[in-house]
Amino acid sequence: LNSDKAKVAIIGSGLMGRGIGLAFAIGGHDVVLVDLNLEVLNKSLEQAKSTLSMLEHEGLTIEPTDKISSRISLEPSIEEAATKSNFIVEAVFENLEVKRDTFRKLDSVSSVETILASNTSSLPITQIASAAIHQERVVGAHFWNPPHLMPAVEVVYGEKTNDSTVSKTVEILRGIGKKPAVVRKDIAGQIGIRILYSMIREATHLVESGVASPEDIDTVVKEALGTRLEVIGPLELADLSGVDLVNNVAKGLYKTLDHSIEPQKIVKDMVARGETGIKSGKGFYDWKNGTRSVDEVLRKRDSHLIKILKERRDQQLAK
């Protein structure tokens, strides 16, 4: 597989799939988008074009929108797409049987050289891969939302994935400007979701114990931890603080941290009351009558990510 020239197919062109396709098209690859739902498929190109215009306006694409979007095509047939591609990313529903069916099909119609990657966030790669005969070329490629703006992608080994599949996947992702991270064991939640959920578990515990309001907890995470995390990860921080200090703090603190092995009562009760967050208008926050707006939060998220990407582009150009 020549990673510069790989023809990429995306199976499932929903929220993640179309953004992943866009990232590959911006990176110079021909991309074919596939979806069972023709309405979703037909809309995906328009949505990709509108995102591209925004990125072009921000100066984050080198080529004009039309040139990039001309590399994206739509294909209702998974078989057709698979035979024409040598790097395939699956982003269908998060359902093991749906994913296994998809990999069974992809494995039977594509060349054995083709890499089959799954964007699953929570299902074991090994179980998805075992639907295929050639399991050595099945790998996890976990993009984060929104995939065209978030740099990291976790590249996950299944039990039978071979090193060459992982190194080619890393190479192709680097080639489109992503920051791949290799996950050597097929562990639930990979790296990012595990760390995120340790944080969500502790944050919900602090609310449940009456230690602080959701707003104050989010303020500390955003304004103390978050602003620094982009440049200093937790293990760099451990070295900066001193591993001896970490050892001492951990001795006292760890036993006081939440150890729940299932969702806490506060979370289960909220779900039972229908307080599911933005879907119902109420979760930890009031999204209906309060001052919070979903559009505003998403707009802030995207403009923050765009600002970071622009800074990185400028640093690159200055080199």
Ligand X SMILES: NC(=O)c1ccc[n+]([C@@H]2O[C@H](COP(=O)([O-])OP(=O)(O)OC[C@H]3O[C@@H](n4cnc5c(N)ncnc54)[C@H](O)[C@@H]3O)[C@@H](O)[C@H]2O)c1
Phi then psi for residue 121, to 5 deg, are: -100, -20
21 binds ligand X (CB under 6 A): no
17 binds ligand X (CB under 6 A): yes
* Four-CA torsion 3, 6, 10, 15, nearest 10 degrees: 50
The interface region with ligand X, picked from 14-22, 179-187, 209-217, 245-253 by CB under 6 A, is: 14-22
**Candidate list 69, 85, 114, 119; residue touching ligand X; CB under 6 A:** 119
132 binds ligand X (CB under 6 A): no
Provide the token pair at 18.
């179309």
42 binds ligand X (CB under 6 A): no
111 vs 145 by CB, closer to ligand X: 145
DSSP, res 177 = T
The interface region with ligand X, picked from 7-15, 45-53, 129-137, 242-250 by CB under 6 A, is: 7-15
Q: Within its chain, how far is the Cα of 155 from the centroid?
A: 11
Q: Are 68 and 98 in contact (CB under 8 A)?
A: no
The interface region with ligand X, picked from 36-44, 164-172, 207-215, 229-237 by CB under 6 A, is: 36-44
**Candidate list 35, 75, 107, 154; residue touching ligand X; CB under 6 A:** 35
* Cα–Cα dist 3/287, whole Å: 44
Q: Which amino acid is at 230?
A: E
Q: Which amino acid is at 137?
A: R
E strand intervals along the chain: 8-11, 31-34, 72-74, 87-90, 115-118, 138-143, 152-157, 179-183
Could you give the string, one character per residue 140-169, with x where binding to ligand X holds by CB under 6 A and - elsewhere? ---xxx------------------------
In the complex, least distance from residue 94 CB atom to ligand X, rounded to whole angstroms? 4
Could you give the string, one character per residue 92-111, with x where binding to ligand X holds by CB under 6 A and - elsewhere? xxx---x---x---------
* Four-CA torsion 139, 144, 145, 147, nearest 10 degrees: -70
15 vs 212 by CB, closer to ligand X: 15
28 vs 144 by CB, closer to ligand X: 144
98 vs 246 by CB, closer to ligand X: 98
* Cα–Cα dist 239/4, whole Å: 37
32 binds ligand X (CB under 6 A): no
Give the number of other CB atoms < 10 A from CB of residue 106.
26
Could you give the string, one character per residue 52-71, with x where binding to ligand X holds by CB under 6 A and - elsewhere? --------------------
The interface region with ligand X, picked from 90-98, 180-188, 219-227, 232-240 by CB under 6 A, is: 90-98
* Four-CA torsion 26, 32, 38, 43, nearest 10 degrees: 20
27 binds ligand X (CB under 6 A): no
In sequence order, the 6+-apart residues with CB closer than 8 A to the CB of 13 are 21, 33, 34, 35, 40, 41, 44, 91
In the complex, least distance from residue 121 CB atom to ligand X, rounded to whole angstroms? 4
Kind and range of the H or E element at 148?
Answer: none
By the criterion CB under 6 A, which residues form the site for ligand X? 11-17, 34-37, 40, 78, 91-94, 98, 102, 119-121, 143-145
